[in-house]
């Protein structure tokens, strides 16, 4: 079985920003738009759709900017990696698992990174 590839982000993880913006906008923006709709008369479906766009777009924009600023300031999109300043970096820590992989990160049979998966020397 091949190991799962992982990406390491430097700076803001924009996928996290987009996902969080979507969820927060639905949880906060939809009720806000529903409450604001009680203040106006919306007689047709076209008027309702136009109202939803006029109200929803600014809510989405404000939410996106707030989440992006939060992510930039707190680096919240990295899942907490790098927040412990006392931790030893992965390169220095070393592990027994490192000895069983080659330069490309592939696992070798005998733990010798100079052999390929069939056990033959490269």
Q: Taking residues 1-5, report their average pLDDT.
A: 79
- Confidence at residue 111, expressed as pLDDT on a 0 to 100 scale: 53
Sign (positive or negative) of CA dihedral 79, 82, 86, 91: positive
Other beta carbons within 10 Å of 12:
19
- Confidence at residue 117, expressed as pLDDT on a 0 to 100 scale: 58
Domain residue spans of the chain: 14-78, 94-122
More confident residue, 78 or 62: 62
Q: Taking residues 65-93, report their average pLDDT.
A: 66
More confident residue, 84 or 62: 62
Q: Taking residues 21-25, report their average pLDDT.
A: 95
Confidence of residue 113 (pLDDT cuts 50, 70, 90): low
Question: Is the pLDDT reported for residue 110 higher than 60?
Answer: no
pTM of the model: 0.53
Question: Is the pLDDT reported for residue 51 higher than 90?
Answer: yes
- Side-chain-side CA neighbours of 115 within 13 Å: the count stands at 12
């Amino acid at each position: 079985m091949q190991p799962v590839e992982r990406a390491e982000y430097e700076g803001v993880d924009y996928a996290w920003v987009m996902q969080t913006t979507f969820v927060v906008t639905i949880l906060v923006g939809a009720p806000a738009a529903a409450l604001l709709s009680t203040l106006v008369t919306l007689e047709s479906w076209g008027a309702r759709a136009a109202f939803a766009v006029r109200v929803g777009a600014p809510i989405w924009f404000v939410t996106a900017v707030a989440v992006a600023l939060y992510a930039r300031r707190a680096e919240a999109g990295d899942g907490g990696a790098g927040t412990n300043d006392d931790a030893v970096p992965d390169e220095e820590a070393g592990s027994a698992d490192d000895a069983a992989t080659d330069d490309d990160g592939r696992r070798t049979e005998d733990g010798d990174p100079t052999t390929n998966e069939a056990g033959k020397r490269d």
